């Protein structure tokens, strides 16, 4: 791999041992993949910071770099943690022990010590990072949250591979990643197109099922090209999150959404009948009432909160508990717009900076019947022992 003089200096330890070690990992991975060189990044987003997910091993890795003197070379944001630090009781059934909270706090302290912005969200694009760090189409970043990666490449035109949590951490310290995959123009040009036939604009749960169908069918290394009508930005977010849940796809060229030229290399068109999508969704829907309804995986946008508040007011207070997860920034905006008050008045439990999947929720709620409009939440909660179902927000209302 070609390395600049500055990169050689970093590797030799002139900018500290931590940066040298981080860059060495990036170089090794890049060489294994056949990357010709490195590329400077403008921003990093680190996943895998919830103590629930990474445990003591992850804590030691992050703390170890901090103690070694590591500092992030670029603006860095991080994914959700294992609880809402402003309300430890917001996740039902979960009681947190002191050592558990201290371990999560140690992770946060180390990340902050290295220079991270502690927003704790998987939707950094709803939390103002694009303006704050002047991220624009064509910029190169290293993000580690699969749903955010797919949103960055597909909707924002910001370029990132799907970095694992540790690799995003190394890239943040080194300020660079390997020039490979989604960073390269030609690798972003689709060759297979998926056309959703007829139907209507997709709402969130339907969009998630489309993500599952395409992820299962797509075998090409290049991103899929997608022709479908999405009803809202949150539907696009759910589609991309599902795509990233079922496969390692880091981007979809969505007609009318993706802000770059798909090129002219499409050689295969796959048609998806609307009926197939509906049948898949029906298989995942609950047959009866549920105990909990969950919205906000990936973290909710203001638009989703407003829609939910409207529905609650139109249909009355529900019997089942409704839980919504979001970033602190979106929460603060919702608070100033009166949305938080409207949601709380309708009995909604709000979880900031965390979610039901990266928290200990499933450990304490085995067998609970839960419906969600998020394919990703449905997928992971099912695997963690919760009786999770997928449903349109509107249909979900009929069940509670």
Contact residues for ligand F3S, defined by CB under 6 A? 79-80, 122, 147, 241, 297-299, 325, 355, 357-358, 376-377
| Angle of helix 233-246 versus helix 302-315 axis, rounded to 10 | 110
Name the residue nearer to ligand F3S (CB basis): 145 or 206. Answer: 145
Backbone angles phi, psi at 272, to 5 degrees: -110, 115
Least distance between ligand F3S and beta carbon 78 (Å): 11
Q: Rounded CA gap, 176 and 172, in Å?
A: 7
* Min dist. Cβ of residue 383 to ligand F3S (A): 12
**CA-CA distance, 365 to 290, in Å (whole number)?**
13
Dihedral Cα 196, 199, 204, 207, nearest 10 deg = -10
Quote the distance between the C-alpha of residue 81 and its chain's center: 13
| Cβ distance to ligand F3S smaller for residue 208 or 298 | 298
- Phi and psi dihedrals of 196, rounded to 5? -80, 120
Q: Which long-range contacts (CB under 8 A, 24 or more apart) does 343-346 make?
A: 343/305, 343/308, 343/309, 343/312, 346/309, 346/312, 346/313, 346/317, 346/318, 346/322
Query: Based on CB atoms, which residue is closest to ligand F3S, 161 or 374?
Result: 374
Q: Tokens in use for 194?
A: 């998926």
User: CB-wise, 156 or 377, nearer to ligand F3S?
Assistant: 377
Helix (H) or strand (E) holding 111: helix 98-113
Closer residue to ligand F3S, CB minimum distance, 48 or 262: 48
Residue number, 154 or 325, with CB nearest to ligand F3S: 325
CB nearer ligand F3S, residue 15 or residue 203: 203
Backbone Cα Rg of the chain: 21
Collect all residues with Cβ–Cβ distance below 8 Å to 99 and sequence separation of at least 6. Answer: none
In the block, tokens 């799907």 appear at 162
Nearest approach in angstroms of CB 374 to ligand F3S is 7
Q: In the bound complex, what is the minimum distance in angstroms from residue 172's beta carbon to ligand F3S?
A: 18
Compute the least distance from the CB of residue 42 to ligand F3S, in Å: 22
Nearest distance in Å: CB 365, ligand F3S = 15
Distance in Å, CB of 297 to ligand F3S, minimum: 3
């Amino acid at each position: 791999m070609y390395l600049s003089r500055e990169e050689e200096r970093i590797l030799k330890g002139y900018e500290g041992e931590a940066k040298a070690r981080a860059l060495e990992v990036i170089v090794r991975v890049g060489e294994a993949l056949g990357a010709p060189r490195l590329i400077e990044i403008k921003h990093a987003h680190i996943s895998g910071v919830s103590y629930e997910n990474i445990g003591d091993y992850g804590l030691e890795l992050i703390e170890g770099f901090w103690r070694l003197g590591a500092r992030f070379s670029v603006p860095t944001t991080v994914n959700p943690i294992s609880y809402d630090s402003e309300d430890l009781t917001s996740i039902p059934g979960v009681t947190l022990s002191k050592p558990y909270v201290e371990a999560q706090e140690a992770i946060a302290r180390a990340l902050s010590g290295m220079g991270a912005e502690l927003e704790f969200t998987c939707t950094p694009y709803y939390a103002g990072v694009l303006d704050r760090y002047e991220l624009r189409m064509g910029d190169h970043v290293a993000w580690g949250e699969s749903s955010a990666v797919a949103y960055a490449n597909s909707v924002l035109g910001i370029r990132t591979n799907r970095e694992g949590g540790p690799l995003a951490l190394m890239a943040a310290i080194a300020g660079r990643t390997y020039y490979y995959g989604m960073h390269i123009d030609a690798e972003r040009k689709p060759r297979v197109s998926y056309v959703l036939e007829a139907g209507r604009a997709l709402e969130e749960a339907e969009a998630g099922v489309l993500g599952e169908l395409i992820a299962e069918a797509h075998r090409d290394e290049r991103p899929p090209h997608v022709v479908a009508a999405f009803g809202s930005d949150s539907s696009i977010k759910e589609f991309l999150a599902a795509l990233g849940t079922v496969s390692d796809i880091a981007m979809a060229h969505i007609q009318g959404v993706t802000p770059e030229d798909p090129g002219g290399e499409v050689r295969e068109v796959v048609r998806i009948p609307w009926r197939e999508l509906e049948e898949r969704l029906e298989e995942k829907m609950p047959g009866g009432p549920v105990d909990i309804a969950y919205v906000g995986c990936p973290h909710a946008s203001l638009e989703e909160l407003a829609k939910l508040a409207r529905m609650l007011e139109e249909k009355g207070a529900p019997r089942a508990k409704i839980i919504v997860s979001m970033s602190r920034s979106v929460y603060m905006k919702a608070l100033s717009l009166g949305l938080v008050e409207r949601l709380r008045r309708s009995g909604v439990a709000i979880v900031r900076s965390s979610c039901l999947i990266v928290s200990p929720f499933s450990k304490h709620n085995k067998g609970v019947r839960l419906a969600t409009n998020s394919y990703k939440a449905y997928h992971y909660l099912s695997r963690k022992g919760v009786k999770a179902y997928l449903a349109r927000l509107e249909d979900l209302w009929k069940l509670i």
